[in-house]
Amino acid sequence: MDTYSAPLRDIRFVLEHVTPLSELTALEDLAHAESDLVAGLLEEAGRFAAQAIAPTNREGDQEHSRLVDGEVKTPESFKRVYQQYVEAGWGAVQHPAEFGGGAFPLTVANAVKEMITSANMSFSLGPLLTTGAVYLMTHHASDEQQQTYLSKMVSGEWAGTMNLTEPQAGSDVGATTTKAEPADDGTYRITGQKIYITYGEHDLTDQIVHLVLARLPDAPPGTKGLSLFIVPKYLMNEDGSLGERNDVQVVSLEHKLGIHASPTCVMAYGENSDGAVGELVGEPNDGMRLMFRMMNDARLGVGLQGLAISERAYQQALDYAKERRQGRGPTSEPGEQAPIIEHADVRRMLLTMKAYIDAMRGLTYANAHALDLAEHHPEEAVRDQQQKLADLLTPLSKAWCTDLGVELTSLAIQVHGGMGYVEETGVAQHFRDARIAPIYEGTNGIQALDLVGRKLPYDGGAFVKGVLEDIRAEVEALPDACSDIAERLAAAVDELAQTTEWLFAHRDTINDVLAGATPYLRMFATVVGGWQLAKAAAAAQQLLDDGDTGTFSEDFLQAKLTLARFYATQLLPQVHGLAPSVTAGADDLYAVTAEQLAP
């Protein structure tokens, strides 16, 4: 049965005991986000996600967004639910109070985003892009631009987009050719075409604020010559009302494997005039640096998609496994069929899904927690260290969680057996929807290159070594009841440290480093996931030892211990198998020609 229940106990456990919200509310800027208020907010968000948004998921997949007479029509249910989303203020949770936001920590906002994304990934993509646009503009737009656009973007009454790539560019954004010509009135005329623009056109909001990378005359080549522009769908009148339509048009919608209800647009700027009117954000030729503010926010948001869609698929697989009877179970009477959850291999698949989901939640919430400290901590040294930690965790969150999203939604189909391959059950949609996430916001291969090329060299390599030492220290502090977890996690950390040293030692042969980047990211994230589960196990054991489990049942806490042990014994060992791939070098990758690879 394709329904969704918000995993509030799991979310609350992470926020209370793994990446403690109390560390954030101890800061003056975030003191208002006290636990009872957050608990109520999350409960209401979970209700809204489950009851209002989740029922639109299947309908949106079947109905699609459609291009009709140059306008994009989203599924009928989306317009109703989006209005409810705006009225309830869910898009405003993390944004500054001065623009009407709730000023809650990103960690809390990400918990809300997780539930909304589980409910309907296609629906969630529009708010994801608007949130990223607001985040960029609060840091880099002028006061006038902020006053013009942000209050209605924060509320969700207006939407935002990110316009990066073009047909000839792909991931090589530096190949952008969209032009920006200065006009006499201080604005610019934007001409060119952009592809893969999520919610580039739709009927959910009156205004869409496009953030567009374009090239000024005489700009240097590559990414260093890109500038960032606000290009609204409608020009603004002096009184703040919407004016005439800007020369921004949707050319076509992509026909995709999944996320059918999310309009992925080809956008044309300036096709019917001397150019669409745009406003420069920040300084000329600084657009790529500014856009990374939005891209990194989106990368964490996309990592959450891997977690969220895995949770949705897991819940459906678990329900099916409890209901579907087939074969004889370990304690079945002769001739009696057992629920398939009684079979060992089905148990293995379900525990694999659940353990990875807990690990992904720990990683992505830790990433947001670091960003909150980097933004709000009063001490500069702490802010600097936490920003580095967030930078390190971001490629892990984006790549590992989205790879797992594909793997775990595939496992959910496997649990269903043949019925999983039939669209009627709905579980195949999760697999189709999940497949885009490893591709957009920088393919996962690019995330791996970013990890080894930009993040490992922090402080000459000392920062990453320090993170591994922190993990070791927490492993050594695990209670005796977690000794089996500690032993395996310590061995995995040692393996990761050795491959890290190998990468540093071979930096002069960069192809060898790049060849090992993807398995190295998988190693690193698998260890960090194990670390998060070990922290959860230690917290659960402490609550059990104290005899005061609070709002958590003993069964729930015992399950946390079991999941951490399952992860340590059955999933974490892959770290040792990945190490040879990291250190194999690039020789074999280049030992064959393209002609030799042909059939």
Q: What are phi and psi of 32, to 5 degrees?
A: -70, -20
Q: How far apart are CA 577 and CA 325, in angstroms?
A: 36
CA atoms within a 13 Å half-sphere pointing along the CA-CB vector of 133: 37
Using CA of residue 41, residue 45, residue 48, residue 50, what is the dihedral sign? negative
Q: Cβ(38)–Cβ(104) under 8 Å?
A: yes
Q: What are phi and psi of 269, to 5 degrees?
A: -115, 125
Residues classed as catalytic: 441
- DSSP structure class, residue 333: P
The first and second tokens of residue 108, run together, are 């809390």
Alpha helices for 419-461 (secondary structure H)? 427-434, 444-450
* Gyration radius from the chain CA atoms: 24
Q: Which residues contact 335 (CB under 8 A, 6 or more apart)?
A: none
Q: How far apart are CA 545 and CA 480, in angstroms?
A: 12
Question: What are the distances in angstroms from CA 64 to CA 73, 111, 264, 517, 555?
Answer: 9, 27, 11, 37, 42
Q: Cβ(87)–Cβ(36) under 8 Å?
A: no
Question: What are the distances in angstroms from CA 244 to CA 52, 157, 235?
Answer: 34, 18, 6
Q: Cβ(393)–Cβ(370) under 8 Å?
A: yes
